[in-house]
Amino acid sequence: MSSRHTKASGHRLRNRIAAASTAVLAAAGIAAGAVAVSGNGAQDAQADGGRAVLVGDSLPANPDLYNFAAGKGLPLPDAILSRTGCGTDNRFRDAIAGSNGQDVQNYTCAGASYRTGGAHVIDQVNQAAANGDVAGATVYMLAGANDTYPYILNDHMPVPEIQNNLKNAIADAIRAAKNAGAADVKVVGMPRITNGAGEVCAINLIPGVQVPTFGIDISNVEWALENAGRDGAAEGGGRFVSLKDESNGHDMCSNDRYIVGLIDTTSQRRNLPLHMTDEGHAVLGAFAGRA
């Protein structure tokens, strides 16, 4: 750090990095360092495997800045928007469709949650149901981390309480889908974030070298998300699809990470910091579709 910076500013920077590293679990919001505006979205899959609906937050939505801005009302040509009018690139949707031939309708939106801020997953489900997309369809749900970090950073809520509240909200969203006639509901878990020591690597600047961010251990939150998804799926009558085994070896401190850092110049291509790479979308979306 330059000598121009004071201790106070350095402390604030460390706090911001810590908050951002926790927020990686949210896969939420659009960070200022976002890169790589994609051009045209992937073409709709030639579907012969039935119908499906994808709901969730910015992890499956994965908007670049261009499409995010279009979803906020800017009149940009050739924008890619989900059926909720939010920016997306359809990569996760297309990975599901490519794996099983389903016609997947995308209702995701950056900032969505099960019970906290932004659009609620249950409202996405209800909108899809009102459009006639849920009855007889498979519903994929990928969200939940936006239901963790606000309570940790703002309310200092114990993680077990966060987990229980999230479990209940997931179960409610599943019931809404089942009540609307969904044939199957898959609650998709988060890919691996932390390494075996519970560390994340928020800053990656040297190829092949990842340095854990000092003082940040969010493995308990990561696994609370996993457990809330598994228990919520069981309680609501859905199925839980864990991505942990499929993303093993691709945590944030790996050379081939599926979720990139806050400042990351050495990852595979991605749209956003603290979000999945293109490879992560392709591999994990296809896995969810086959599960």
pLDDT of residue 245: 97
pLDDT of residue 252: 92
CB 284 within 8 Å of CB 95: yes
pLDDT of residue 270: 86
DSSP-derived secondary structure for 158-188: -HHHHHHHHHHHHHHHHHHHHHTT-SEEEEE
pLDDT of residue 25: 44
Rounded CA-CA distance 20/23 in Å is: 5
CA angle at 108 for the pair 106 and 109, rounded to the nearest 5°: 145
Q: What is the pTM of this model?
A: 0.83
Helix ranges restricted to H, the chain: 7-23, 58-61, 65-71, 91-100, 121-130, 149-150, 159-179, 219-236, 278-290
pLDDT of residue 10: 41
Rounded CA-CA distance 140/145 in Å is: 16
Six token digits for residue 193: 């974030």
Classified by CATH at the fold level, domain 47-290 comes out as Rossmann fold (3.40.50)
Domain spans of the chain, in order of start: 47-290
Beta-carbon count within 10 A of 172 CB? 18
Per-residue pLDDT in tens (0 to 9) along the chain, 291 residues: 433 333 344 444 334 444 444 444 444 333 333 333 333 333 343 456 899 999 999 999 999 999 889 999 999 999 999 999 999 999 999 999 999 999 999 999 999 999 999 999 999 999 999 999 999 999 999 999 999 999 999 999 999 999 999 999 999 999 999 999 999 999 999 999 999 888 899 888 888 888 888 767 789 999 999 999 999 999 999 999 999 999 999 999 999 999 998 898 888 888 887 889 999 999 999 999 999
Closest CA to 53 of 30, 32, 77, 84: 84
Helix ranges restricted to H, 39-198: 58-61, 65-71, 91-100, 121-130, 149-150, 159-179
